[in-house]
Amino acid sequence: MAAISFRADHFGTSGLGEVRTAISKTYADRRRRPFGGSPSILGRPFMTRTTPPRPVDIEEDFPALAAHRRTATRLHPRHGVPGVGDSSVAGPLLWPADEPWPVCTAVHPKGTGHLLSDVRLRRRIQDDARGRDFTEDEQRLLDAMKAADHVPDLRDDDALPMLAVAQLSAWDIPDLVGPEGHDLLQVFWCPFEAHGPDRTIDVVLKWRRSADVGTVLTPQPEPPVAGREECVPTMCVVHPEQVVEHEYLGLLDHGLQEEISAWEEGLLDEDGDDDYEEGPPSAASYATYEEYEAAMAAARAEEPEEIDYMSDLSIAPGWKVGGFASWHLTDPAPVDCQVCGTAMPPLLTVDKWECDGASRSWLPLEDRDAADDPRVIDPVGVYLGRGLMRVHTCPADPLHPHRLSFQ
């Protein structure tokens, strides 16, 4: 990565056609920023998102976990149109007009993949058509959106503008810890998984003092193409909420791990003892099989959900700042600063899911009526690694090179 001067209109725009332009404008006009809650940098308000209280006070049962507690700020991204000074995902940045925009200078194919304009329009069409069939115009547009060599004149060694991924303010996000005096983090990546020995995206962090920014750069550059659609985040407003997390189970001392596992087994035994003490009711006791099925469904709905440490009491899912790292797909691996050797906690977690079936207890109260809505469960549309990427920074000096880890 390097930072050089770059014009936003360097590549121009692809001809999308009158239908594509009209539909895109229609969907863009429907996007509105939600209101309510506390202000961000420029005074724009946030809506509230509230994580339900944890089903049990785990520190009451295991006081030793108090030494393994840490806060995290869940971002709760949701579709919306943020302002240039707001904390956001994929929104406009508070970027000085006289400062070069970050670019990728690594040698890799840069013109072949999915047009960003196609990715965004596809998602808008799919959102708008939820619950109905696509119109003929919509279906024709969707069918035409294919990965291709869209910018054949773009060479592998050309400088490519990085994609703006997030802007995070310490005024909004209490767990955002950066260099002294810096209150704003801007996150970029190159949307091609072609970097380094692991062939991943390349992430760039820019810390700055928001008060130092005068005239803001507009329009702001971006690459015309991404290697995969899932490397392109959907624009979202954020609803920061600080929560408490506890260390990943596999990193606790062995004795505490065994105590927690035994406690979980005890909960399962209790649930099993409570289920149908006299045996499950027979279908023959109902007038129809449909009545029996309805009664069983109602009984299941009233059953308390199973509780386990990893899913409900340890690490929050979704996009967040701070907190602990989950190693649910691999063994825990040290992430140490390559300059000073200090252990590097996660600064930013980029998660495919805001919650899944196992972590449903973390779903905000405000979203309970939309628990299966993709705009709640997968609002950003990003899928990196096997679903989760973390950006780690050095607590001794946040300007030391960051590192990435994936799950």
Least confident interval from 52-61, 82-91, 303-312:
303-312
pLDDT (mean) for 350-357 = 93
Count the helices and strands in the chain (H runs, E runs): 7, 18
27 versus 111: which is more confidently predicted?
A: 111
278 pLDDT higher than 60: no
Say if residue 407 is exposed, middle or buried (CB neighbours under 10 Å; 0-12, 13-18, 19+): middle
1 versus 140: which is more confidently predicted?
A: 140
Residue 293, pLDDT score: 66
Residue 84, pLDDT score: 98
What is the distance between the alpha carbons of residues 175 and 323, in angstroms, rounded to a whole number? 8
Query: Residue 226: phi, psi to the nearest 5?
Result: -125, 150
Q: What percent of the chain has pLDDT over 90?
A: 77
pTM for this model (two decimals)? 0.84
- In the three-class reduction of DSSP (H, G, I as helix; E, B as strand; rest coil), residue 353 is classed as coil
Terminal Cα distance for the chain, rounded: 24
Residue 292, pLDDT score: 64
Q: Determine how β-strand 184-195 pairs with β-strand 163-169.
A: antiparallel
- Here the tokens at position 325 are 């790292």
What is the distance between the alpha carbons of residues 368 and 376, in angstroms, rounded to a whole number? 10
Query: Confidence class of residue 87 from pLDDT cuts 50, 70 and 90?
Result: very high
Buried b (16+ CB within 10 A) or exposed e, 70-82: eebbbbbbbbbbb
Which region holds residue 381: left if phi is over 0, alpha if psi is between -120 and 50, else beta?
left
Residue 235, pLDDT score: 99
Residues 6+ apart with CB under 8 A from 38: 45, 46, 172
Provide the residue type at 81 as one letter: V
pLDDT tens column, 365-384: 999 999 889 999 999 999 99
Contact 104, 196 (CB under 8 A): no
pLDDT (mean) for 385-391 = 97
Contact 164, 3 (CB under 8 A): no
- In the three-class reduction of DSSP (H, G, I as helix; E, B as strand; rest coil), residue 315 is classed as coil
Query: How many CB atoms sit inside 10 A of residue 319's CB?
Result: 25
Residues 6+ apart with CB under 8 A from 133: none
What is the distance between the alpha carbons of residues 72 and 66, in angstroms, rounded to a whole number? 15
98 pLDDT higher than 70: yes
pLDDT (mean) for 322-328 = 97
Residue 238, pLDDT score: 98
- Structure-token match 């700020």, residue found: 73
Q: In what order do the strands lie in the sheet with 2-3?
A: 2-3, 102-104, 160-161
Query: Confidence class of residue 100 from pLDDT cuts 50, 70 and 90?
Result: very high
What is the distance between the alpha carbons of residues 230 and 234, in angstroms, rounded to a whole number? 10
Residue 160, pLDDT score: 98
404 pLDDT higher than 80: yes
- Pick from 246, 248, 242, 315: nearest CA to 69: 246
Residue 298, pLDDT score: 60
273 pLDDT higher than 60: no
Residue 269, pLDDT score: 72
What is the distance between the alpha carbons of residues 72 and 70, in angstroms, rounded to a whole number? 7
- Pick from 30, 350, 10, 347: nearest CA to 185: 347
> What is the 3-state composition of the chain as percent helix, strand, coil, each rounded to the nearest 5?
30, 20, 50
- How confident is the prediction for the chain on average, in pLDDT? 88
Q: In what order do the strands lie in the sheet with 225-226?
A: 148-149, 112-115, 225-226
- Here the tokens at position 34 are 């939600």
Query: Residue 87: phi, psi to the nearest 5?
Result: -65, 135
291 pLDDT higher than 90: no
Least confident interval from 97-111, 301-315, 316-330, 375-389:
301-315
What is the distance between the alpha carbons of residues 180 and 34, in angstroms, rounded to a whole number? 32
- Pick from 144, 150, 146: nearest CA to 17: 144
Provide the residue type at 276 as one letter: Y
- Pick from 299, 307, 302: nearest CA to 268: 307
Residue 276, pLDDT score: 47
pLDDT tens column, 142-201: 999 999 999 999 999 999 999 999 999 999 999 999 999 999 999 999 999 999 999 999
- In the three-class reduction of DSSP (H, G, I as helix; E, B as strand; rest coil), residue 292 is classed as helix
Contact 85, 94 (CB under 8 A): yes
- Pick from 26, 379, 35, 27: nearest CA to 235: 379
Domain ranges of the chain: 2-248+315-406, 254-302
Residue 287, pLDDT score: 75
What is the distance between the alpha carbons of residues 192 and 103, in angstroms, rounded to a whole number? 13
pLDDT tens column, 3-38: 443 334 434 334 345 545 554 454 444 444 332 333
How many Cα atoms are found within 13 Å in the side-chain-facing hemisphere of 75?
A: 31
